[in-house]
Amino acid sequence: MRVAMIGTGYVGLVSGACFADFGHVVTCIDKDASKIERLEKGEIPIFEPGLDALVETNVRGGRLSVTRDGAEAIRTADAVFIGVGTPSRRGDGHADLSYVYAAAAEIADLIQGFTVVVTKSTVPVGTGDEIERIIRERRPDAEFAVVSNPEFLREGAAIEDFKRPDRVVIGVNDIDSPTGARARSVMAELYRPLNLNESPLLFTERRTSELIKYAANAFLAMKITFINEMADLCEKVGADVQQVARGIGLDKRIGNKFLHAGPGYGGSCFPKDTLALVRTATDAGSPVRLIETTVAVNDARKAALADRVRNTLGDDLNGRTVALLGLTFKPNTDDMRDAPSLDLAPALIAAGATVRAYDPEGMHEAAALMPDVVMTPGPYDAVEGADVVVIVTEWDQFRALDLDRIKLLMNRPVMVDLRNVYRPDDMRARGYVYSGIGRP
C-alpha cells in the first residue's frame, strides 16, 4: 500500500520506517527544510536505537523516501497519516492542535479517490470530528474517512513496540457503513504483517480511540506518582520502596511495570497528556481528580529535587560543585522534554552551585536549554572536583562506574542516586555519603 506520513518527528519517522519495513511504500513529509536535508544525507535527527539502520535499509530498498513537497504522495496515498506535534498550549494546558488542523487542510486540497486520513498524533477527544469537518468543508466532493490510530511507542524501544505491540487501537466511525468498512479494510491491510500469531488490532469508535491514548498515559503517570509517594513514606518509616514495589507488583492485578521510584515523570507524553486530559475533562464537566492530583504531586516532586541534594550534602549549596549524570528524561533517548534535570539544574544554580553534567546522547539539546550548566565529555570529567554527584538518568554506563576512581576525583564522596542504581550498604562501605529514593 502507499502511505504518506506528515511529520518526521519521533512518531512520524519511526512509524513511517516501520511501515516501510512491512513492505509498504512510504513517503515522510516535513516542512522543516533542515530536517529533510539531514534525512536525505542519511542523518537521523532523533536518537532511537536501531532507527538509523531501519531507515537506511528501507531507503535503499526504495520503500521509504522523504520530502518537503508531499503533494504527489498525498494524491496517490491509500492512507495519509498525521504525525505532527501536539504540545501543550501556553496559558491553558490544552493540546495545541494548530499543526494537526493545518495538515488536515493540506490533505483536503490534495486527496484524489478514496483516502483514509489517519490521526497518529495524540489528540483530545473530538479532534477527528474537527478534521472531518475541515476536509468536508474544503472538499465536499472528496471520498475519505477519518480514523484515529494513536501511538503507544516507548522512546528507546519504539521499533520493538511498533512491530510487536500489545495492541493497535483503531477508531473508525460507522464501521458497518460502506465508508467505515472500506476504512477498516485499509487499516487491517496496513497492519496485516502483525497478524502472524494473533491479531493485536482493536477496533473502536473514533472518540473512544482518542480517549484510550490519554487514559493509558494518565494511568501510567498515576502509577509512577503513586510509587513515588510510597517512597517518601518509606523514608519516614524506615521501609524499602523497592521491596514494597516488588511485593505489590507480584499481584497480577497490579503488575510490576512503572513501579520504579525516582525524580518524577517527564518526557514528551506524560506531562502534556495528563494536563490535556485534565483540561478536556474539566471542559466536559467531568473532572478527573486523581489525574489533577497526579500532575500537582509530580510537579512538586521535581521542584523539590534541589532540596534533596542540599539535605544529603548537609551544607549550603552556595559555592559548591554538583555533578549531574544523565540529563534526558529516560535512558536510550536524546529527548529533554520535561526532563527532571530541567527543574533540578536551575534550582541548584539559583542556590549558588556550579553544575557540571554529562549525558551520553542529550547534551546537544540540553546545552541550549541549560546554558549555565558546564557540559563535559564524560562522567569522570563531570565528577572531578565535585562536592556531590547526582544520578539523574539511569543510563547503562552509569550502572558500573568506577566508584573508587570517582571518590578520588571528588572533593568529598557524596552521591544522590535518584534512580536507585546502587545499593546503600555497598556505597557506605566504600566511604560514600549516599542517598537513594525510598530506602532506609
pTM equals 0.93
Of the residues 18, 28, 234, 269, which is catalytic?
269
Delimit the domains of the chain by residue range. Answer: 2-204, 214-291, 304-435
* DSSP secondary structure, 183-222, as one string: HHHHHHHHTGGGGGSS--EEEE-HHHHHHHHHHHHHHHHH
Quick check: helix, strand or coil at residue 303?
helix
Distance CA 430, CA 426 (A): 6
CATH architecture, range 304-435: 3-Layer(aba) Sandwich (3.40)
Has domain 2-204 been given CATH number 3.40.50.720?
yes
Q: What is the pLDDT of residue 228?
A: 98
Q: What is the pLDDT of residue 196?
A: 73
Is residue 229 within 8 Å of residue 235, measured between CB atoms?
A: no
Q: What is the pLDDT of residue 182?
A: 97
Asked whether this chain's domains 2-204 and 214-291 adopt the same fold, the reply is no
Supply angle C-alpha 250, 254, 259, rounded to 5.
Answer: 80
234 is catalytic: no
**Low-confidence residues of the chain, pLDDT below 70?**
197
| CATH (residue range 214-291) | 1.10.1040.10
Q: With b meaning 16 or more CB within 10 Å and e meaning fewer, what string describes 307-336?
A: ebbbebbeeebeebbbbbbbbbbbbbbbbb
Quick check: helix, strand or coil at residue 374?
strand
Nearest Cα neighbor of 120 from 164, 74, 80 is 80
Is residue 277 within 8 Å of residue 288, measured between CB atoms?
A: yes
Nearest Cα neighbor of 424 from 215, 415, 60 is 415
Distance CA 46, CA 190 (A): 25
Q: What is the pLDDT of residue 90?
A: 80
Q: What is the pLDDT of residue 197?
A: 61
Give CA 219 to chain center in angstroms.
15
* DSSP secondary structure, 377-432, as one string: SSHHHHHTT-SEEEE-S--GGGTT--HHHHHHHSSS-EEEETT--S-HHHHHHTT-
